[in-house]
Amino acid sequence: MPSTEAMDLTDEEIREFARVYPPGPAARALLHRAGFPGEHVPSPIGVTGLDFWYAVADAVSAGRVPDGRRRLLEAAVRDFPHNTVFRAVPRGPSPVRRVLVVGAAPHGTERLRADRELRAVQQAAARAITVDHCPAAAVTDLGRVLDEPPDILHLVCHGDGEHLVFEDTYGDPHRVPAADVARLLAAYAPDADARLRGLVLASCDSGTVAGLFTEVAEVVVAHRGPLDDETAVLYAAELYDLLQRVPALDRAARIAAEHVAVRLGDVYGRQLAANLVVLGPRGGEGRR
């Protein structure tokens, strides 16, 4: 049995994983939720539970998954919230390293300043966060999460409380039920190696549909009612600046809203703070 001196997972944690998640479907599902690359998942054939989880521990120690120990423990504690071994180690959030901004402003709709929102994200993120972007997006462009899986998907589009509006082949509006968008992201998840750490829905009335996305993202940030375009740009800048100092998306989202309210000092800033919706890892909502 390999030495555990250099491993991130302790002997006690490895034994508990072997006890609770013997080699097989449950263990593989846990590794998937923790973002463990499929090619590094050990074979469950002909090995004991301890052999399997020591192989996982070796991969974690080798850096196959950033913050692998924390992510494994957080995934396990969601299944077994009262397990004292899984809960014993403090597990703070890791820094956000990659964001995908997907924007859509089809012909015949009120213009969105998605380009300005992207620029605000890029400037606030500086060099600490890689920002990818997909403008004039069709709904299937969400498949970009498969290319370089982001920590956060930031979606800039119109919404009406039931649909999200993308672009069709001709640049015209394509109104897609939010439930279908959530199912599409869920279909991508197995090949993207993990749930999204965060989903930011920068669209009007997105608070109504935010709950549909809690299975595909650990934290969902949305808004009730209308979302002023200029205010949304300022909010994006504040959010991604804060994420370099407050890596927990739920906390950063709330603080950013307060910053915007104080900076603007007008009805739009106050509305943004009052109408912010933040759904956390277990679907609980946080407000001001």
Distance (Å, whole) CA 176 – CA 185: 13
- Is the residue at 6 inside a domain? no
CB 185 within 8 A of CB 228: no
The continuous run of DSSP H or E covering 218 comes out as strand 217-223
Has residue 17 been placed in a domain? yes
Q: How confident is the model at residue 68 (pLDDT cuts 50, 70, 90)?
A: confident
Determine, yes or no, domain membership for 21. Answer: yes
Last residue of a domain, one of 87, 114, 147: 87
In a domain, 18, yes or no: yes
Q: Are residues 79 and 23 in the same domain?
A: yes
Give the domain CATH number at 270: 3.40.50.1460
- Binning pLDDT at 50, 70 and 90, where does residue 14 land? very high
Are 106 and 45 members of one domain?
Answer: no
Q: Is the separation of the CB atoms in 267 and 236 below 8 Å?
A: no
Residue at token pair 């479907």: 25
Same domain? For 68 and 128 the reply is: no
CA gap 107, 64 in Å, rounded? 44
Please tell me whether residues 71 and 103 are part of one structural domain: no
Same domain for 257 and 205: yes
Question: Phi/psi class of residue 68: alpha, beta or left (left: φ > 0; alpha: ψ in -120 to 50)?
Answer: alpha
Whether residues 138 and 280 share a domain: the answer is yes
One domain, residues 45 and 150: no
Range 16-24 average pLDDT: 96
Look at residue 145 and tell me if it is in a domain. yes
**232, 271 contact by CB (below 8 A):** no
Residues 282 and 199 grouped into a single domain: yes
CB under 8 Å to 76, separation ≥6 — which residues?
A: 17, 20, 21, 30, 83, 86
Cα end-to-end distance, the chain, whole Å: 51
Confidence of residue 288 (pLDDT cuts 50, 70, 90): very low
Nearest to 275 by CA among 155, 283, 261: 261
Question: Does residue 45 form part of some domain?
Answer: yes
Q: CB-based contacts of 232: which residues, under 8 Å, 6+ apart? A: 113, 117, 156, 202
Distance CA 70, CA 60 (A): 10
SS3 call for 49: helix
Would you say residue 134 lies in a domain? yes
Q: Model confidence over 130-170: pLDDT tens digits?
A: 899 999 999 999 999 998 889 999 999 999 999 999 999 99
User: pLDDT grade, residue 89 (50/70/90)?
Assistant: low
Domain assignment present for residue 4? The answer is no
How much is the pLDDT for 4?
37
Q: Which domain does 209 fall in, by range?
A: 98-286
**Is there a single domain that holds both residue 73 and residue 139?**
no
Domain final position from 67, 87, 107: 87
76 and 115 together in one domain? no
Max mean pLDDT range (5-9, 118-122, 208-212): 208-212
Residues 152 and 184 in one domain: yes
> Do 278 and 221 contact (CB within 8 A), yes or no?
yes
**pLDDT one-digit tens code per residue, 166-183:** 999 999 999 999 999 999
Q: Are residues 49 and 192 in the same domain?
A: no
For 56, 93, 148, 170, 245, the CA distances from 151, given in Å and listed in that order, are 22, 12, 10, 30, 16
Question: What was the pLDDT predicted at 12?
Answer: 92
Considering only residues 222 and 88, tell me which one the structure prediction assigns the higher pLDDT: 222
Q: Pick from 87, 108, 138: which residue ends a domain?
A: 87
Of the pLDDT bands very low, low, confident and very high (cuts 50, 70, 90), residue 5 is very low
Name the average pLDDT for the chain.
Answer: 87
pLDDT band at 91 (very low <50, low <70, confident <90, very high): low
Number of domains the chain contains: 2
pLDDT at position 219 is 95
